[in-house]
Amino acid sequence: AGSRRIDEDGGSTFSYEDPEAEASVNLRYALTSTSAAELTVNPDFSQIESDVARIDVNTTFALSYPEQRPFFQEGSDLYSTWIPAVYTRSINEPDGAAKFTGTFGRTAVLYLIARDRNSPILIPGEEGSHEPLVRDGIRDLRSVSQIVRLRRMFGQQSHLGLTLTDRRFQENCGGVGTLLGVDAQIRLLGRWLLRLQALASRTTEPDDTLLTAGLNQVTFAEGAHTLGFDGETLYGHGLYAYLERESRHSIAAIEYTAASPAFRADNGYVDQNSLRRLTLVGGARGMPNRELLQGWGAFVHASRRWNSAGLLKEDWIKPEVELTLTRQIGVELGWIGSRERFAGRRFDDLTRVYLELSAQPNEVVSLSGEIDGGRALARDPARPRTADAVSAGLSASFRVLRRIDLSPRVSYYRLDERGGGANIYSGAIWRGRLKYQVSRAIAARLVVQYDTFVDRLDLEPLLTCRLNPFTVFYVGAVGHQTRYASGAGGDPDDPGDPGLPEDRWKPDARQYFAKVQFLWRI
């Protein structure tokens, strides 16, 4: 592995580390036909693809990403709830983990315990979330997480659930986050669906304000607490309710979500609190099944959000039309009109129009794309303002000769000052994935991603050889390169040190790996 380091004189040096060999153990034992215990020590996920990058230049909230690690993927449908009480990526770099999953009659059980050597922290807020800075040398905040999930099925598409999570930091600064919740889904008379969830959290912050530099004087809950990690104990709650009536030709639904200012979920994904949100949905649809038009739908969504003190923060309305055409072609066209209070100011007349298209004419090709444009809010807390925004995306999937899978995609976003003014943000993320099945035993994969917002290029080649049903060999690399502008690295006060003479690509990080996976059946 190698990485670029900043030198004392302001320059940078790329250096390689000595190769390392590590052993990883994963044990799975089937206790019964419907239950199993699994243990992993020093798990290695080097062959897992990186996340698909997402544009985050005009948001104040952290982004969530899907779980890709097989150990955590299995059983993930069990702890999926409407307020995400469990987000397994909160367990970032586990030294070891153990899991029990089982189904006993109509009751499903999951227990997970993991020791993490590099635990992320997410502090939700009313207008944005915060990820505390971590001191040099304590980037690897260690923690132990435990997750318990029970779900009892009954009736038709109905269940009762219980969730308990607990994360305890192992550093001297301490810190504990515990959450308890219940949830239910009840199908009534065939057409009615009721969903309910209630959560209670108790969070004892780490006692180390260096971790929250820049946030220690910021208060919330009308000044009752600070965002700084000063060892406070916080109690919070979250609520969710949803009622839907659906028939062949119509749908109507009402949804309510609430979170108190101190509500947090250390092992979940809760990026916003101090909110009460009410959403209404109504619409009609038909399925004429004609030669061109297979189905249609017309819907109206409306929502209003307050903070916990009752101050109106946002309301919006969204009428939309959906069409299903022959050859699995889908069209969705809509308009969004909204008003929002942000950073102490109110912004009216935020309007956007969007169009989404999808098509899968055969098993070889599938396409999808969307474009969204209009008046948006530039979310700069120091200078919020309305701006002109355009976003677009295009993705495709091609299967060639049954052995080659190609999946390109691009996302674009642009934000300009009103009336054709200066550009605020502009950029795109390009990504391509190519997989070639050389034979039954050998497969090659290449992932290429280029982010123009930061001028970064990522390359991830991987070769997989299945030597026999129980032995798999992986060899691959992960590389990151950044384009540095001319003059980068120079000293403005030293005419003899002008820096780079021209734009140049330089590696920031590079890792090569080889992995042999042996499976034994006992």
User: Could you read off the pLDDT of 229-262 as tens digits, one per residue?
Assistant: 999 999 999 999 999 999 999 999 999 999 999 9
Q: Coil, strand or helix: which one is 38?
A: strand
Indicate the residue type of 51.
D
Rounded to 5 degrees, φ, ψ at 253 are -150, 155
| Closest alpha carbon to 317 in 355, 351, 272, 357 | 351
Indicate the residue type of 131.
E
DSSP, residue by residue, 159-214? EEEEEEEEEEE-STT--EEEEEEEEEEEEETTTEEEEEEEEEEEEE--B-GGGGTT
pLDDT at 136: 47
**Rounded Cα distance, 496 and 214, in Å:** 37
**What is the DSSP secondary structure assignment for residue 485, as one 8-state letter?**
P
Indicate the residue type of 303.
S
**Rounded Cα distance, 293 and 331, in Å:** 11
pLDDT at 501: 59
H/E stretch holding 410: strand 404-417
Indicate the residue type of 187.
R
- The residue ranges of every structural domain in the chain are 1-24+454-522, 34-273, 275-428
| Closest alpha carbon to 50 in 369, 370, 445, 403 | 445
**Rounded Cα distance, 514 and 125, in Å:** 42
CA atoms within 13 A on the CB side of 23: 2
Entry pTM: 0.91
DSSP, residue by residue, 320-331? EEEEEEGGGEEE
**Rounded Cα distance, 209 and 121, in Å:** 14
pLDDT at 78: 94
**Do residues 341 and 312 lie in contact, with contact meaning Cβ atoms separated by under 8 Å?**
yes
pLDDT at 190: 83
**Do residues 398 and 382 lie in contact, with contact meaning Cβ atoms separated by under 8 Å?**
no
**Rounded Cα distance, 181 and 107, in Å:** 17
Indicate the residue type of 432.
G
**Rounded Cα distance, 279 and 256, in Å:** 6
| Closest alpha carbon to 124 in 234, 285, 249, 8 | 234
Q: Tokens at residue 463, please?
A: 């070769």
Other Cβ atoms within 10 Å of 288 Cβ, number: 10
Provide the β-strand partners of residue 313.
none
DSSP H helices in 336-463: none
What residue ranges of the chain have pLDDT lower than 70?
1-16, 18, 133-140, 486-502, 522
- List C-alpha distances in Å: 490 to 86, 455, 484, 493, 509: 47, 19, 12, 9, 21
Task: Give the end-to-end CA distance of the chain in Å, rounded to a whole number.
Answer: 36
**Do residues 261 and 308 lie in contact, with contact meaning Cβ atoms separated by under 8 Å?**
yes
User: Could you read off the pLDDT of 40-75 as tens digits, one per residue?
Assistant: 998 888 788 889 999 999 999 999 999 999 999 988
